[in-house]
């Protein structure tokens, strides 16, 4: 009986030893896999890009963003690049898909893309670019530089006081300034409110001319041209996407337009205080790298702004309108 008990105990002990050994081997394998997964050189990062619409400025920002990440990660970053065709509802669908696919990061190019991404997720990091004012876009009160949520990025706003001075500089005899923008774009309204103050200080009479979408842009532009000496268009995606239609109204009417960015200016304007959308996109890509690889928290990362804006002009339109352009302006290639 005693021998039987001893044999049973020996078997139990042997089984226990085998179990421990196999468990130990299993843990080692899991730990090795985890270590491999955390190796930045092996991980492939999946980034969803939601761009509101295709036009020169936003295209350049996306190009810069992708270049920054591929410069740093090579083949270890994959992009799912989607264009919303200027439909905010498409931004919502696109960002929802990114969340369902559990991407590592969302890049939101333009304000409606940002608001859609921020609504879709509070967990996945979001890096936005081509956004005029993050506080307005995200409805943040007492904004001090960082959003406090899973969002950071780069802004595309050039100094509005300098843009107001450009209007005075280029069209010194003008009395009435019309501000042309899409009422659906909150950041355009923000720019209009701010520059109105500066224009009023310079002695201009200012009036807003807004349209709801591309369907009424020609008629609204016609009304503005009939009642104003010069127009100002902020960094507005609908304006950018319909610059040719605006030019078709303003050029025969002989009314100049100062634009908030170079793409709009090239399409229908005489001058702009230009930033590089490629550069702000590239900076956004660098910020994305810091989040993905170095664990930075977007909630604490200050929004970055474009540096060294440049005064630029369209030579053909300025010549046609007999506008004298100072030597401090650079010509936009036509």
Per-residue pLDDT tens for 286-331? Answer: 999 999 999 999 999 999 998 889 999 999 999 999 999 999 999 9
**182, 239 contact by CB (below 8 A):** yes
User: How does pLDDT run across 137-160, given as a tens digit for each residue?
Assistant: 999 998 999 999 999 999 999 999
* DSSP category for residue 157: P
DSSP 148: S
pLDDT at 32: 34
18-63 per-position pLDDT tens digit: 343 333 444 433 343 333 334 456 899 999 999 999 989 999 999 9
Asked if the model's pLDDT at residue 279 lies above 50, the reply is yes
Write out pLDDT tens, residues 79-112: 999 999 999 999 999 999 999 999 999 999 999 9
Instruction: Please report the beta strands in the chain, taking only residues with DSSP state E, as ranges in sequence order.
Output: 45-51, 77-83, 105-109, 126-131, 151-155, 176-182, 205-211, 230-233, 257-259, 271-274, 304-305, 310-313, 330-331
CA 265/CA 247 separation, integer angstroms? 10
Q: Is the pLDDT of residue 185 over 60?
A: yes
Buried b (16+ CB within 10 A) or exposed e, 98-110: beeeebbbbbbbb
pLDDT band at 333 (very low <50, low <70, confident <90, very high): confident
Identify the pLDDT of residue 8.
43
For residue 135, pLDDT beyond 90: yes
Sheet containing strand 176-182, strands side by side: 205-211, 176-182, 230-233, 257-259, 271-274, 310-313, 330-331
Q: What is the pLDDT of residue 307?
A: 86
- CB contact at 8 A, 192 and 258: no
Output the pLDDT for position 17.
40
280-309 per-residue burial string, b: 16 or more CB within 10 A, e: under 16? bbbbbbbbbbbbbbeebebeebebbebeeb
Question: Which residue reads 């196999």 in tokens?
Answer: 22
What token pair was written down for 166? 């450009």
Q: Report the chain's mean pLDDT, rounded to a whole number.
A: 90
Virtual torsion, Cα 114, 236, 311, 168, nearest 10 deg: -130
CA distance 316 to 1: 110
Q: Which has more confidence, 220 or 22? A: 220
More confident residue, 172 or 41: 172
* pLDDT reported for residue 258: 98
pTM of the prediction?
0.80
Bridge partner list, 131: 155
Pairwise pLDDT comparison (9 vs 145), residue with the higher score: 145
* pLDDT for res 9: 43
Q: Is the pLDDT of residue 269 over 60?
A: yes
The predicted structure's pLDDT at residue 41: 60
Calpha distance 178→207 (Å, rounded): 5
Q: What is the pLDDT of residue 334?
A: 77
C-alpha 82, offset from chain centre: 14
Q: 3-state class of 231 per DSSP?
A: strand
Strand-pair partners of 326: none
pLDDT score recorded for residue 48:
98
Percent with pLDDT over 70 in the chain: 88
């Amino acid at each position: 009986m005693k021998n039987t008990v001893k044999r049973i105990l020996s078997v139990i002990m042997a089984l226990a030893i085998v179990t421990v050994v196999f468990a130990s081997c299993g843990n080692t394998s899991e730990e090795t896999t985890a270590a491999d997964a955390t190796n930045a050189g092996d991980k492939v990062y999946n980034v969803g890009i939601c761009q509101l619409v295709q036009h020169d400025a936003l295209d350049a920002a996306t190009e810069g963003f992708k270049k920054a990440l591929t410069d740093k990660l090579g083949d270890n970053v994959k992009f799912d690049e989607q264009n919303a065709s200027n439909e905010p509802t498409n931004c919502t669908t696109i960002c929802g898909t990114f969340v369902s696919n559990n991407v590592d990061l969302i890049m939101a190019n333009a304000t409606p893309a940002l608001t859609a991404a921020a609504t879709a997720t509070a967990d996945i990091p979001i890096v936005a670019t081509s956004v005029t004012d993050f506080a307005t876009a995200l409805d943040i009160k007492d904004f001090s530089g960082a959003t406090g949520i899973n969002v950071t990025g780069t802004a595309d706003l050039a100094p509005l006081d300098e843009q107001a001075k450009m209007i005075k500089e280029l069209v010194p005899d003008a009395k009435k300034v019309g501000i042309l923008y899409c009422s659906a774009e909150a950041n355009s309204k923000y720019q209009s409110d701010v520059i109105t103050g500066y224009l009023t200080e310079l002695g201009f009479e200012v009036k807003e001319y807004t349209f709801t979408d591309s369907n009424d842009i020609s008629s609204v532009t016609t009304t503005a041209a009939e009642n104003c000496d010069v127009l100002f268009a902020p960094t507005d995606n609908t304006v950018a996407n319909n610059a040719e239609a605006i030019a078709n109204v303003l050029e025969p009417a002989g009314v100049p337009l100062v634009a908030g960015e170079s793409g709009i200016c090239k399409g229908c304007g005489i001058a702009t205080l230009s930033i590089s959308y490629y550069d702000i996109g590239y900076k956004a890509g660098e910020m994305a790298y810091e989040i993905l690889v170095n664990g930075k928290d977007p909630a604490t990362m200050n929004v970055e702004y474009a540096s060294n804006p440049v005064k630029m002009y369209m030579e053909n339109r300025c010549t046609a309108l007999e506008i004298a352009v100072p030597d401090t302006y650079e010509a936009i290639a036509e």
